[in-house]
Amino acid sequence: MEPLRINSRLVIPPDELAVSFARAGGPGGQNVNKVASKVVLRFALRGSRVLGEVRLARLEKALASRLTAAGELVIHASTYREQARNLEDARERLAELLRTSLAVPKARRETKPTRASRRRRVDTKRRRGQTKRDRRKPNSES
């Protein structure tokens, strides 16, 4: 298996990826019962040599709900009937997941609402209040 390229600066060596195969579920007749085409790809974040402290912290925070107790990221791929295509699919999904999780979010710059937008907001609130007052019984006080 070749190394998995995440981006221009990060490449995961093949010895850090654990691949196992299983029989896929679902329709497919005898083929499903005989062929182990499902791929289970595991990547141990905490045991990786190529991830630095900053990347590891960012990935653990972004992927917290997807990590096992041991800190492994597990990808299951059983879309295709061929083992090789499922392996490629699992590798692509892992790379995309890591790529999106490592992306630094753009800092939000605080802006001030315009005078017109504040006026529209107040006008809308005033109209809504008038609509509610119009629904009241004519003889009610307050």
Domains of the chain, first to last: 4-102 (3.30.160.20)
Task: Determine phi and psi for 4, rounding to 5 degrees.
Answer: -100, 115
Residue-level pLDDT at 131: 96
Structure confidence at residue 30 (pLDDT): 73
Give the tokens for residue 95: 């790379």
Q: So what's the pLDDT on residue 76?
A: 94
| Helix or strand (DSSP H, E) at 117 | helix 115-135
Residue 99: per-residue pLDDT: 92
Whole-prediction pTM value? 0.71
- d(Cα 61, Cα 72) in Å, to the nearest integer? 13
Question: How confident is the model at residue 140, as a pLDDT?
Answer: 63
pLDDT per residue rounded down to tens, the chain (142 residues): 888 898 888 899 999 999 999 887 777 677 777 778 899 999 998 888 898 899 999 999 999 999 999 889 999 998 888 889 999 999 999 999 999 999 888 999 999 999 999 999 999 999 999 999 999 988 766 5
